[in-house]
Amino acid sequence: MVQRVIFLVLKSITIILLFYCPSSNAQQKVGSISSMYNTLGDSILIKQQNDVFMPELTPFGWSYPVNSAQTMTNDMKQRKGNGTTADDILKQQQNLAVYGNSKQATQQQINAQQQNQLNGRPPEQSSQQKQMKEFNDLLFEVSNNKLKFNDDYYKSSVYKNDFVNYQNAFTKLKDMLEERTALSIADAYYYEEAAYGNVLLSYEQYKSIITQNVDFIRQWLKENNMNMSDPEMLHMGIQRFNSDTLFLKKEDKAHAPFFYDYLNYDPAENRTNYFVTKILATGGGQCHTLPTAYLIHAEALKIDAFLGYSLSHSFIRYKNHLGATLNFETTTGSIMPDQFYLETLPRMAKAMNNKIYITNLNKKQIIASVMIDLAVTYVKEHWLYDKQFIRDCMNTAATYFPNKDYVNGSFRYLNKRLLADELNTQVQTKRYTDFSQIEKDPETFAAYNNLTNFMEQENTAGIQEFPESDYMQLMKYYDTKQKLQRASKINGRQPRDLFFSK
């Protein structure tokens, strides 16, 4: 009974940090349609109309008024002569196909929606609606990226010189995977981050900090009479090093723990928030960089540690002396059972059975995932200009995973944008203005089916988005933590030495 109570308390604390720790493919979530458009006039119009034309749940499904904000804005965009994209055409088709023939709502859904409205929460969307919204957002993104039509940029020496860095990083990672050079998790992450640039540490500083940290862990364990040949004791040393302030007895030396950086956690705001060089330089990290730092220290201590995934989150897995696999949550410093993750989302067990979530990533798979991150970083900086480079990263990495279509969130991020861009390019090149034209063209219709089928297969495999109502609660929590961090004047981007004198 006591163990169950402790587990529930830990669960309530951990769930806050566990789900919405952005991965490299994270995008900003919003509660209104206005984020889909990038002009001030459109945003104002949509905000005004959303106040009047809110969707309602009826016994016949979701009802969207005919003169909804999105419809009015699309009409306005057409009048402004902005042209037709795949995004525009598909929205027309979906308004007819989905909103006109929605599945009948149950009384329970209607009651829940009414309670949501009374509590001021956004309406919960069906899985079909969520998929449709993601579909529309993807098409809007690929048709409106600011670099998409900037030929001068891609011809410039700035781009060409930077692309060389990405090619060099790809070659180094591939050499590791194909065993022409030694496997090194620490080096793999540094190569990927250095390709982007703006890292807070030189390679020499980076390696020096890792060595210094590992030496401290070993000394602390030795002073506390721990068995240095026991891998579990070494794991415990990393965990205490990450989470507690530790003091050495024989030296005037101590180490402050890492902390969760609530002000600088989102890679969508600053790509370097996703870099392990940031947490080693500043002490502030998030749910990608905290496990990464753990992996790097475990590698230096020559003990096995695996990376595990759940929804938009990563954590550490390792085996104890009995051979049982433990999950270590680096965001809270707690060991969690598999059941914790399985209870968080309805289809997590299905994704686990498909070897997507809560499974061990070995050293090669971790480095292969870094290669996927390299492609995502390229897209974030240079968009989809060199699709061959992106596909080379994806195809090389995918061979090291059992489920080659759904390696991780970053892989799916890339796949969906490549498929959406292909569809949008076909529509714009052929100047289609109606969905019936897409249906009649085998090539374009195949591009449409490739994207929709991929998204449907994701759904079938057990991959799902975080529920909107829970997401909103997390954002309230993050807002509170951000205010506390500002009040404490903790700058998560300021390099600092975590070692200090007693």
The pLDDT tens digits for 134-183 are: 888 898 899 888 887 788 999 999 999 999 999 999 999 999 999 999 99
Q: What is the pTM of this model?
A: 0.77
| Alpha carbon separation from 94 to 45, 116, 460, 468 (Å, rounded) | 22, 25, 21, 21
The pLDDT tens digits for 110-139 are: 666 666 666 655 556 666 777 788 888 898
Higher-confidence residue of 293 and 5: namely 293
Between CA 83 and CA 124 the distance in angstroms is: 32
| Alpha carbon separation from 402 to 88, 124, 225, 273 (Å, rounded) | 37, 34, 42, 29
Across the chain, mean pLDDT equals: 78
Between CA 230 and CA 52 the distance in angstroms is: 65
Please state at what angle helix 289-300 crosses helix 203-223, rounded to 10 degrees: 70
Coil, strand or helix at 327: strand
Percentage of the chain exceeding pLDDT 90: 50
What is the enclosing helix (H) or strand (E) of 231? helix 231-243
Percentage of the chain exceeding pLDDT 70: 67
> DSSP assignment, residue 103?
P
Predicted confidence at residue 115, as pLDDT, reads 66
187-188-191-194 Cα dihedral, nearest 10 degrees: -90
> Residues 6 or more apart from 447 whose CB is under 8 A from it?
419, 422, 423, 426
Which residue type, as a one-letter code, is found at position 179? Answer: E
Which residue type, as a one-letter code, is found at position 496? Answer: R
Domain ranges of the chain: 35-126
Residue 199 has pLDDT above 90, yes or no: yes
Task: Give a three-class secondary structure readout of 191-207.
Answer: HHHHHHCCCCCCHHHHH
Q: Do residues 418 and 443 make contact, with C-beta atoms less than 8 angstroms apart?
A: no
Tell me the residue ranges of DSSP E strands in 224-346: 246-247, 254-255, 259-260, 284-285, 306-310, 313-319, 325-329, 334-336
What is the enclosing helix (H) or strand (E) of 499? strand 499-500
The pLDDT tens digits for 337-387 are: 877 666 665 555 454 555 556 678 999 999 999 999 999 999 999 999 999
The pLDDT confidence band at residue 416, using thresholds 50, 70 and 90, is very high
Question: What's the chain's length in residues?
Answer: 502
